[in-house]
Structure 1
């Protein structure tokens, strides 16, 4: 997990009975009330250091609700740790892999704030969570206190003897932190620990799983593992690689789509360059915009086949099909008309149709939707309220603009 601007000294005030009680006594955090809350706490006699630490944690807890739900109200966070932390709904699926594989004691190497360890301990697995960063390890210790089968070790993930474990989970640090914020690391060998270390553990026959950023290139994914991309409510959260007993033998790549209505998965047994040959056809009928997990997993052609459709261009992730098919793996739009891309012609169309609200989507073109929207709506009459959706894309060398409506 990356280093954070939080230091042990800044966290220390919260690890006292007074600090912990004060933090947990606050109601729901609202940024608009922060100044008044700070003043009130200082007037009550709390030190500036404690007030600063409490407000910082209250702010992070509010942000963490999206990932941790009601658990966030009793946890400690760092900013960088929260950015990389696994959503609990996804962590539960990681943990289930270990249970189904018959694993009993997991080494969680690079545990961060402890989200995956928490999910594993909730399923009655014994977990040893290892974290190099001192502040993050302190947070994980507090977060895992309710679970007697979980313990935290402050150490380098690559230095831990693994003889006592029958499964390993890793979440390598993929961000660098500076005074201006955090930046993402793209090279898997620059991760901490690197992907080659993960492969060396898998080579020993251990059930090994690793969470990586969803943008990892296909050529970096090792042979002999299952790669599962996961999206949550349309946001691609991660790709998890599973080795040995954690891997499903008939799955090489998968797209798991989680939403309020449940979980759906699209899988392929073939490698990334050996999948379904895409069919290409006209931009007509219904346009499908695949979920990001489907795109990352290289399963767009497989989805097109399932929908009875085709790609509009073999290099662009837009699918067209004659019929409207309900699918959790894509958003569907009815194609109303297709015209050559021309700013002048589109501006005239906006004016003639009385369009005041314009949603612009694009793939395969360098157009910036926000800038184009301003150009097309400039000078539009006040009171224009008609809504419209444009899809900008490329068919071969031709740029086109499709007028569509959500199906």
Structure 2
């Protein structure tokens, strides 16, 4: 079997009720056996979508004519023979991720087995998940929450949907529901009080047994994140995510010494080399490699194994279409140190749902592991129609 062509799809902007639209970048790899695989680059949000669309076109030229079963060899080719691969970063590893996921999909389809079987088989039958980003609401429409009562109500909606864990950014919006920028240095008492009141309202609404994850999106720094942690730690936080930029790993060690909440990060850390310093000094309790930017299934499996050595658990970061979501479920079923699956609010938005044939959703807060061959996902005609497309042969 040989790779005959690579198609990259840049989905047209998906409107999200007044928020800046996002454009998923999807990959399709075809073979001369009539089998194809799907992958995704995790750069739909932020300011790198066109770069993602471009990097797949560049990387595709290195894999045309190769045997798609040789996944490890192709990964090393993209890493070592593209010059920029060894420099790392979101774009280059994002491109490798999209291709790598598609190759695993091909292999699973060709062998007639789900990808989790190729990754070592199941370590669990059900995947616990959490409702992610409830400050945006928990429905098909995004409505920024302002008052503590609104945060409590959103948490209740997630619980009514069957979840027993939620993630929330309590400093993303001000008291009027307007976006807040960077929050560096000592925080005003009014900001800390508002954040604390929001967390308190959620805890009082959901009771003591629901897990609450706090997300800062790295808009705080070491000073402000420590302040916020002390203001909310009494509410039994499950873990505390992206407290600052990950570019200086030593700061996480300092934060861990002063914060009495488990610390998580990884959305903007790429490859096993990127995670190594955080693990060797054990400054992350939960690692969150993004499946679409950290090197794909091959690399995130290695990151998970490395984390296992240092007794850190893994929550794969995903914030994209049903393609990346399906792939994540296979990996999370296979790794022993999995902790919880991120089910993002955008998975409820029709513009995302219509891209894929299978709309995987949890039941009572838990996913079943897909049993279809490959990653168990296909694109709809709508996905192809609503995309800028380029094919490399």
**Coarse TM-score class (shorter-chain normalised):** under 0.3
Q: TM-score, normalised by structure 1?
A: 0.26
> Larger Cα Rg: Structure 1 or Structure 2?
1
Q: TM-score, normalised by structure 2?
A: 0.26
Q: Which has the higher helix share?
A: 2
Point out which structure has higher relative CO (alpha carbons under 8 A, 6+ apart). Answer: 2
Q: Which has the higher strand share?
A: 1
